[in-house]
Amino acid sequence: MESEKLIQTLIEQTRQNMNAVENLKELDTGYLNSRLSENSWSILECIEHLNLYGDFYLPALEKNIQKSTTIPSSDFNTGFLGNYFANSMLPKPGSKMKTFKDKDPIYTDLNRAVIDNFINQQIKLLKLIELSRSKNLNSIRIPISITTLIKLKLGDTFRFLINHNIRHIHQIETIKSHLPQVLTHQI
Amino acid sequence: MIDSLRSLSEKTITVNRNQYLKVAGSIDTNIYFIESGSLRIFVLNDDDEQVIRFGYKENLIVALDSFLSNRPSGLFIQAIKKTVVRVINKVQFNALLKDETVKELWIKTLENLIIQQHEREIDLLTSSPKKRYESVMKRSPKLFQEIPEKHIANYLRMSAETLSRLKKS
């Protein structure tokens, strides 16, 4: 695919993710902390899970983009593993994933600040995407969070990270559709 | 001009409070006519937001750099409250410009915009917060009815406390 097309898609998806999360600010804290069952995440825990990934990937992206002296290529070719990881993140009915313990925020007593953290991380992500316009999405490689032995192409890392955001924002919509409406408090 | 633009629009977008119509890095060549609500355009200066423009009911709002150059723009456009905009894309707009009368009006509009930007530039270089406040008050008194003070203070490059004090004096 064209690199510029990919960049524009990533920016637009990030805008939509930000907007979905901005909407959560209208809901009260009790609602945001409610869970559907004992072992399932609240809305804030879903967001915090994304923030924990951002805490790992944003600095890794920044470091590798900044030190790179590559020049842009007009096309981005997704890698075999990168494409698999990125696509496996997209929400599909009934697809459960195992959460790594260090990325599991369940019962960590969260407050609304996680929403602002998420938005700030997305603004940072937008900056990094913009910065990547002048670098090579194919040749810069970013290690994944579970092992530095596997590195994905910069373009695939962005796709993976943003699809992961989409996955859990979709989960939040599911939580909202199942929580009792009385808890909803629209300001 | 605005009426003919408005009638071209085939699409409306609703943005809730704090949602983004445009984020930094995107190429946005649309013209937006604001049916209701209000928006602000800001840029990030390091990590600080600097408001550069507002739009409210019956204004047009555009990422002017993208619109004119078809290039990515660093601007954010965010709803201050729930806002409905009509979208006019550049193709529709260019077709409208084939009409000589519309073209003349468009040039007039751009001329006015340059004058406004010129005044804004002088304002920003004016060191006295009081004078900056008075100048904007004179130019767009309606701004103070439509836009919350904290955003106007940012636009005027002063603290909310300073603006509030100036308004009382």
Domain boundaries, chain A: 3-183
Q: Has residue B138 been placed in a domain?
A: no
Best mutation target among B16, B17, B20, B66 (most A Cβ atoms within 10 Å) is B20
Residues of B within 8 A of A123 (CB-CB) are 24, 44
For A8, residues 6+ apart whose C-beta sits below 8 A from its C-beta are B26, B27
Best mutation target among A4, A121, A123, A158 (most B Cβ atoms within 10 Å) is A123
Q: Has residue B150 been placed in a domain?
A: no
Q: In which domain, by residue range, is B46 found?
A: 2-96
Partner-chain residue, chosen from B15, B18, B23, that has the shortest CB–CB distance to A126: B23
* pLDDT class of A186 with cuts at 50, 70, 90: very low
pLDDT at A13: 98
Q: Has residue B111 been placed in a domain?
A: no
Distance from CA of A115 to the nearest CA of B (A): 12
Q: Which of A74-83, A97-106, A151-160, B50-59 has the lowest mean pLDDT?
A: A97-106
For A97, residues 6+ apart whose C-beta sits below 8 A from its C-beta are none
**Does the structural domain A3-183 have CATH classification 1.20.120.450?**
yes
Q: Are the beta carbons of B61 and B77 closer than 8 angstroms?
A: yes
- Counting residues of chain B whose pLDDT is more than 70, the rounded percentage is 100
- Where on the phi/psi map is residue A109: left (φ > 0), alpha (ψ -120 to 50), or beta? left
For residue A125, pLDDT beyond 50: yes
Distance from CA of B45 to the nearest CA of A (A): 12
Partner-chain residue, chosen from A18, A25, A129, that has the shortest CB–CB distance to B25: A129
Helix axes A154-178, A43-67, angle to 10 degrees: 170
For residue A182, pLDDT beyond 70: no
CA B58 to chain centroid, in Å, comes to 12
Q: Has residue B125 been placed in a domain?
A: no
Distance CA B144, CA B60 (A): 18
pTM of the model: 0.93
Domain CATH for B74? 2.60.120.10
pLDDT at A187: 41
The total domain count for chain B is: 1
Identify any residues that bridge with A106 across adjacent strands, giving them in sequence order.
none
- Looking at every residue in chain B, the average pLDDT score rounds to 93
* pLDDT class of B10 with cuts at 50, 70, 90: confident
Q: Are the beta carbons of A78 and A124 closer than 8 angstroms?
A: no
Mean pLDDT in residue range A148-157: 94
